[in-house]
Structure 1
Amino acid sequence: MKSKVIGIVLIIIGIVMIAFNSFNFKTTEKVVDIGAIQITKEKDNPVAWSPIVGVVLLIGGIVVIVSSRKSDS
């Protein structure tokens, strides 16, 4: 039972990683801080991965589910 849940989670994560190859998040950094004057800058931080990682997770999830079915029999 636990193997099936792990397999399903791997499949879902694999599909999401194939559909979305990257995401961005923004952070603010102080550039100048002189008394009452503050200058900040927003910086984009991209996080990207290869879709191959999603395919590997998808195949791994399928293998885990198939192997758990064989061991249940």
Structure 2
Amino acid sequence: MNSTKMIGIALIVAGLLGVSLGGFSFTKETHKASLGPINLSVAEEKKVNIPLWASIAAIVAGAAVLVAGSKR
């Protein structure tokens, strides 16, 4: 399997994950205060949304790369 097919498949998989999940979240820990040996920190959860148009564009681009790679 050559590199163009692998890139096309990766784009399609990433696009499908973006459509199905819609985004991902992560936890960011910030240190608010430090008083001697005592550290106060806050953990807040952030969510990153993946636009639907970007996911669809990745699927279309992956399909185009697969088709272009197979014509060689």
- TM-score scaled by length of structure 1: 0.83
Structure 1 residue 25 and structure 2 residue 26: aligned?
yes
Q: Please state how far the C-alpha of 1:69 moved relative to its aligned partner.
A: 1.6
Report % sequence identity.
23
Any gaps of 5 or more consecutive residues in structure 2? none
Q: 1:9 maps to what in 2?
A: 10
Aligned counterparts of 2:27 and 2:3: Cα–Cα separation in 1: 37
Alpha-carbon RMSD: 1.3
Instruction: Look up the equivalent residue of 1:26 and give its one-letter code.
Output: T
Alignment length (residue pairs): 71
Aligned counterparts of 1:7 and 1:37: Cα–Cα separation in 2: 51
- TM-score scaled by length of structure 2: 0.84
Instruction: Look up the equivalent residue of 1:32 and give its one-letter code.
Output: A
Structure 1 residue 60 and structure 2 residue 66: aligned?
no
Moved more, 10-19 or 32-41: 32-41
Aligned counterparts of 1:2 and 1:44: Cα–Cα separation in 2: 37
Moved more, 21-30 or 54-63: 21-30
Per-residue CA deviation, residues 20-68 of structure 1 (Å, 9 max, x unaligned), is: 1111111221212111222211122221120111110101111111112
Runs of 4+ in 1 over 6 A off after TM superposition: none
Aligned counterparts of 1:57 and 1:41: Cα–Cα separation in 2: 36
